[in-house]
Amino acid sequence: MRRIAALAALVCGLAALPAHAKEGSRFHPGVTSRLGVIATESPAAARAGRAVLERGGNAIDAAAATVFALNVARPQSCGIGGGGFLLYRRHDGAVRALDFRETAGQQASPSMFSGPGIHQQFAGHKTVGVPGTLAGMAEALRRYGTISLAAAIAPAERLARTGFRVPLSLQGAAAQNAERLALFPATAAEFLPGGRPLPAGTILRQPQLAATLRRIERGGIAAFYRGIIARRIVRDMRAPRPETQDAGLLTLRDFAAYRPIWRAPITGTYRGRQILGFPPPTSGGVAIQEMLNILEGFDLAGAGQSSALGDHLIAEAEKIAFADRGEYVADPAFVRMPIGDLVSKAYAAQRRDEIDAARAKSFAPGRFVTPVRAADVADHNPAGTTTHVSIIDRRGDAVAVTCTIEQEFGSAVIAPGTGFLLNNELTDFGPPGTANEPAPGKRPRSSMSPEIVVRDGKPVLVTGGAGGARIIMGVLFSILGTVDYGLNLPQAVDAERLDNLGSARLNIEDARVDPAVLAALEARGHVLVREGEYGPRPRVQLAGIDPATGLRTAVSDSRSDRGSLAERPRATAAGTMRSR
């Protein structure tokens, strides 16, 4: 450890290259308040969440209302046809993690995706897991909320019924996915009216979705998991169009059996801060803590932001973490995992010694007593998109919730009469024989990474992102930017990023990086994939409290729509939310 740290310091001192933050052309300062703040990539959904805060709701209440509104206003990314993960830290320090990940039905098998079919295009009924978002939000409200499920759904129902103005992001996503969307008449009718993508600026009303939300308001989650909504989905799975030939595997029993799961969060430290992450079946919390532990032994601040040395060390730490992620991380109900070892400081010290500060390498996973199965490093659906919400309320409660239907528009399936997209989350499973192989009742490995960083007893950073496996590095860079490089939240979310997904190819937002740094990275053996000023993903949403002043800040990623809002002081006496 001392040898590598000394070498890093030597290289930094002798070969330092220009390294500093450069604000990009899309930089924006975010919003601030001494009350509550919310960061999303949907202005319409953020308004729903802020309204809850302004009427006295807490962070859990606002998170649920925002997630339901995202189903309406950002349907390509999130909705009751999907799932996700919620990390909650109460102002008194209590922390809980809620897993509402989609689940394979009882007819799933390791070979379910072998052979031809539209599942090879990440579309169709076979790719759909039992959705968990509705059950997850209901459980979060039951345990920690102050409003009813119906009250949390009401803003989304109203938005679906009255409509909202289509943003360019939705038009662009529909255009890019038009071929998949056209496979299913109910989906095409919603997002390809007249055979063309939704035009930006027009008002989109979703009456079938509004009707579905009203059913849930009246009947609760039973209307979804045991009622007409589940029956419509299963009926559609059993009778797919002749053109697609893609019968699904889910049954009414699968829907009735679904339950969200409270889990113990991943807890660690980094340079005096407490780090809270999400445990498996997502890999994000494990990978981020492992990388932070490795990097803690290097002087990243001394190397400088976007320095050749700093970026090289970060990339090498990612390779190690992704090797371990691919070998071990999966649904804990099916696979024994050495999580305590992977996130330990002692293990990080061992792996840190493998890094050569002057040369890029490849790394094998660590070896533990736990039986090892075939490695599965790659993510098998590289187009995952997802969306994230970060919230801090006036009490100091913090929520980081990532919700998804997997890639844009999920499976592309809307079951007739339901109005919402179904996920294609089962494409996150790996090949037969790996820890992440499909199995009945199993939850596929994820990269979602809701994280909370605590300093002096305050949540100084509430973070998470969208973008498949690239979420992990987007979240990591928000932590490194604020802790090592001294950036404020708007600077940290805007700053240039890199990501090698555990491989030799280094994706890098190169436009703001000094050419000498890029040349030095190539000289070390990195194969650069240059993405210009901003890459398309990951898209990160940040919130945090300044411990010295108590001021809250929220900021949306420069790479996404700006949906961050602050609670308005004039609304503090506007009454309280209707309680249960």
Mean pLDDT along residues 447-468: 97
pLDDT higher than 80, residue 292: yes
For residue 229, give the nearest of 76, 414, 442, 426 by alpha carbon.
414
The answer for 86, left when phi > 0, alpha when psi is -120 to 50, beta otherwise, is beta
pLDDT tens by residue, 322-352: 999 999 999 999 999 999 999 999 999 999 9
Whole-angstrom Cα distance, residue 213 to residue 219? 10
What pLDDT is attached to residue 436? 95
Mean pLDDT along residues 140-145: 98
Whole-angstrom Cα distance, residue 311 to residue 307? 6
Whole-angstrom Cα distance, residue 270 to residue 292? 6
pLDDT higher than 80, residue 381: no
pLDDT tens by residue, 558-569: 999 999 999 998
Is the whole model's pTM more than 0.85, yes or no? yes
pLDDT higher than 80, residue 399: yes
Higher pLDDT, 384 or 328: 328
Look up residue 169 and give its amino acid: S
pLDDT higher than 60, residue 124: yes
What pLDDT is attached to residue 21? 57
pLDDT higher than 80, residue 255: yes
Q: What would the DSSP string read from start to end of 252-299?
A: HHHHHH---EEEPPEEEEETTEEEEE--TTBSHHHHHHHHHHHHTTS-
In the 8-state DSSP scheme, what is residue 23? -
Could you list the active site residues? 386
What pLDDT is attached to residue 320? 98
Look up residue 111 and give its amino acid: S
